[in-house]
A and B are shown apart, each in its own frame.
Chain A
């Protein structure tokens, strides 16, 4: 047994987190920054933060992740990191020449109280930011919230680049939340099918799913451009996908620049996608194209074709709030039973939402925000499940408890595909369903006695 020291009996822990279901803010900010075209993320802290975030994102995407660090030493930690930051800005523009430097803080620079907007002003005064180049920043203290919070804060900083001209651009801002590059590509496909002109931000498609061609581009073609970000203040409205990841930015644009917003769930699974598509249809004032109807019908078809293998299956879920809410709804919509749901990210609304979604499911649900995977594992030991869905760390639980397992979430360090194949939208729903059915039926084929082993399923 890999997790051999995890007891079935659950004791209350107040101080010790074991096997976290979250990580820290800066990595979320770094991921979001990579969705700006020509952007170099910069970590204002000691070197390790940046090295860890780059390593984790690299392992997840199998793509180069460039980011700078202020390389704090003990001296900088005592006297403040301003000198390091100014030097970094100068070096970055001289050596790497990005369009944008997106700086995020760390627990180190937050604890000593470095003021990034003030440092940026000083850099401007000293002429360290070349004409036409940009420096944006987000405060991302690792001791509050989670990686999701950091993502959200950087997305908000992107929204703050808005410079309304007073002339509407006829576009809709779409804030996709922390989804994969493939998902962002799929969202763009869906919106263009419906005929809605959009500004999608952040947009990591074309950045973190690049080709191998013998050429290395530190700043690939993809990403939301600065011009687009400036234009978000002229948009007709904003669709924010996910309360945790995207709502802050959307509400800021609403309050500051009167760009109205709706916060929707992330479009994973049938119902959440329905709501997303319906919102787009209403905004555009068009009928839904046949192609999308066809895709929706295919998803409904597969659910109905394979319902017997899904019905009543108990599922353990771990991940981030926005994703888990949509996934829980998807599973319930197929008559499956997500009975253990854990996120490490704080947020009281999360538990409430999951309880609402599972109210009529007919079995009791364990749900926890600010939980950890140790607790999830204990719940599973006490009340077994048929399937576990979560990031790569779930493989230890899955192996010990001999559970069918679908990798979904962040980080996925041991399988590929998430950067290429979307799980949002109807097509994404089909892919999720294919994966879920794949592991459930592989298990059935493995465990059925010979006399019950079947050719046709």
Chain B
């Protein structure tokens, strides 16, 4: 299979492109994929439906990873002072060791286990006779070495199959050690259909075992938690900088640059601001029910989105001091952003982008591209659910299939002593009446233009086809997709790990991103694909000596 981007110059209709994408598939595959490719009608709340969060077809080269990756890699990976032990053969621990570019600031002597990889390295006899004893011994050895405040255990595929009871082992070890919170995640890779199940499992256990462990009131005003921000490339640092400047106190971030204690104290915040809806909405919902903390959707990707999100937080607290401070910060930060845009936009205006990542980024990053005058012509998520495409109003209509039903839903009740409504009913109603929206996410589809293509769980074959047919100026996905796209002569930006760059969040981050995209779409390298003699292959004259 060889493809080049040179072939087409005709204008394709979205329906034709969809047909092209499906043409080569066996009929059953084509029928299934057809439901995951949607030509956007850009109708608020009435968009045509798209199938998402369903099984990937075996043999179709997918971008997706597994539940373990979503749980250990994504959600729990960025917390620096929990000893994360992978219970399983060595591979899973090895591959998730320092590969996600989560940055953390532990200070000169703070606890930081992120540069370490801990594994029980299960061997054949553990598979045959069970790995519980080895796991208990491993927890003991980790405790003896470090005396950490917390040890987390992550199950890999064989653990579930052989029936190791990791929850009993960890509960016993917690009791035995006394001063160390030990708990486990049943995040076997085969569960669910993608990383998404792992996010849910992580949310459940963090909520069950850590949130609420520390009631000590933290100092500061305007206390929020930032949920679903993983400090890739330092995004969280930039957002923290802005919060500090505004006078907003971030009690905890789930989970970029975070600590165990941040999770433990999260219930003392007064607002949950949700960045990545897909990976963390569960914990936001559960905290609302148990502790009375309302949640709102925010987005700090894009300078204008950052300003909007800050205003939204300020409006919630409703105090003039904060509202003024936020305005002052925006006024202070925006000139540099506008100056960067003024220089760069003439070089990016009118160019096109495609992005296929995550459960939020394929949406959030469209704001940054829009600021650059670039149009997103096709986008989709790797592991999102229908609500991330179409908005949370579809939630009641989503049918649970076998794969989702296997993922635990925790029943949460209001906490008898610690449930405290952050606003009175009247205040909430007043806010809502003024257009303030709690617990809302409209999804990606309404923000995309009519006729754009929204594709769930895009695979390698379709990615190549899309690039060949639609010739975007830039394509965004992950490391696995990077080089097949670039071989076609199209720059590819990783939006999971950002390649080497970042931060891209907040105001400074936006400027970094504008420069990065300018660098990519205007790089000289894309002009070197053909050697001079390939441009004029026929020798038409003899060499002209000086």
Contacts and interface: CB of A to CB of B under 8 A. Distances in A.
25 contacts: A11-B144, A15-B140, A17-B93, A17-B119, A18-B117, A19-B117, A20-B117, A27-B91, A51-B69, A59-B99, A62-B483, A67-B61, A74-B403, A91-B60, A94-B24, A107-B88, A107-B89, A107-B157, A112-B161, A143-B123, A213-B487, A216-B2, A216-B487, A217-B1, A217-B2
B194 interface: yes
A218 B487 CA distance: 10
Interface in A18-67: 18-20, 22-27, 42, 45-49, 51-56, 58-59, 62-67
B95 A90 contact: no
Interface string B144-163: 11100000000011101110
Contact of B66 (A24, A47, A59): A47
Given A13-B141, A72-B190, A215 B3 contact: yes
Interface string B60-80: 111111111100000000000
A143 B66 contact: no
Interface of B: 1-6, 24-26, 29, 55-69, 85, 88-99, 109, 111-113, 115-124, 126-127, 134-135, 137-138, 140-142, 144-146, 156-158, 160-162, 188-194, 402-403, 406, 460-461, 464, 478-480, 482-489, 525, 528-530
Contacts of A107: 88-89, 91, 122, 127, 156-158
A443 B440 CA distance: 57
A111 B128 CA distance: 9
A398 interface: no
Contacts of A18: 116-118
B469 to A, nearest CB: 14
Given A47-B64, A47-B66, 5 more contacts: A24-B91, A71-B58, A91-B59, A111-B162, A143-B122
A144 interface: yes
A108 B190 contact: yes
Interface string A211-240: 011111111000000000000000000000
Interface string A62-99: 11111111111111110000001101111110111100
B72 to A, nearest CB: 10
A66 B65 contact: no
Interface stretch (A1-9, A434-442, A449-457): A1-9
Given A26-B91, A74-B190, A144-B124, A90 B141 contact: no
Contacts of A5: 111-113, 116, 145-146
Contacts of A108: 157-158, 161, 189-190
A393 B61 CA distance: 29
B90 A23 contact: yes
Nearest to B127: A143
Interface in A375-398: 393, 396
Nearest to A109: B157
Interface residues of A, number: 86
A425 interface: no
B530 A55 contact: no
Contact of A48 (B66, B122, B138, B480): B66
Interface string A258-297: 0000000000000000000000000000000000000000
A75 to B, nearest CB: 7
Residue among A71, A111, A396 with most chain B CB within 10 A: A71
A71 B56 contact: yes
B461 A51 contact: no
B147 to A, nearest CB: 10
A95 B190 contact: no
Contacts of B95: 23, 52-53, 55-56
Given A77-B157, A143-B89, A143-B122, A65 B480 contact: yes
A106 interface: yes
B141 A14 contact: yes
A141 B158 CA distance: 11
A142 interface: yes
Given A5-B145, A91-B58, A94-B25, A344 B90 contact: yes
A173 interface: no
A89 B60 CA distance: 10
A71 to B, nearest CB: 5
Nearest to A40: B61
Interface in A159-178: none
A327 B46 CA distance: 65
A75 B60 CA distance: 19
Contacts of B188: 46, 77
3 shortest A-B CB distances, which residue pairs?
A48-B66, A24-B91, A88-B59
Contacts of B61: 66-69, 96
A152 B141 CA distance: 33
B66 A142 contact: no
Given A46-B189, A66-B484, A70-B58, A218 B91 contact: no
Contacts of A202: none
B482 to A, nearest CB: 7
Contacts of B66: 46-49, 51
B491 to A, nearest CB: 11
B145 A73 contact: no
A64 B482 CA distance: 7
A14 B134 CA distance: 8
B172 to A, nearest CB: 15
B24 A52 contact: no
Contacts of A62: 483
Residue among A5, A88, A106 with most chain B CB within 10 A: A5
Residue among A55, A66, A90, A94 with most chain B CB within 10 A: A55
Residue among B59, B62, B488, B528 with most chain A CB within 10 A: B59
A250 B359 CA distance: 48
Contacts of B62: 47, 51, 69, 71
Contacts of A26: 91
B479 A3 contact: no
Contacts of B529: 212-214
Nearest to B403: A73
B189 A47 contact: yes
Interface in A241-258: none
Nearest to A220: B2
A214 B120 contact: no
Nearest to B478: A55
A295 B123 CA distance: 45
Contact of B4 (A69, A214, A393): A214
A410 to B, nearest CB: 11
Contacts of A13: 141
B99 A97 contact: no
Contact of A51 (B64, B119, B141, B161): B64
A219 B157 contact: no
A53 B91 CA distance: 9
A218 to B, nearest CB: 4
Residue among B56, B96, B161 with most chain A CB within 10 A: B161
Contact of A214 (B25, B123, B145, B530): B530
Contacts of B118: 16-18
A153 interface: no
Contact of A16 (B120, B192, B402): B120
Contacts of B116: 3, 5, 18-19, 374
A124 to B, nearest CB: 17
Residue among B58, B137, B482 with most chain A CB within 10 A: B58
A210 interface: yes
Nearest to A51: B65
B179 to A, nearest CB: 17
A204 interface: no
A92 B194 contact: no
A77 B161 contact: yes
Contacts of B123: 143-144
A346 to B, nearest CB: 9
A146 interface: yes
A142 B90 contact: yes
A48 B68 contact: yes
A90 B26 contact: yes
Given A111-B127, A144-B123, A215 B487 contact: yes
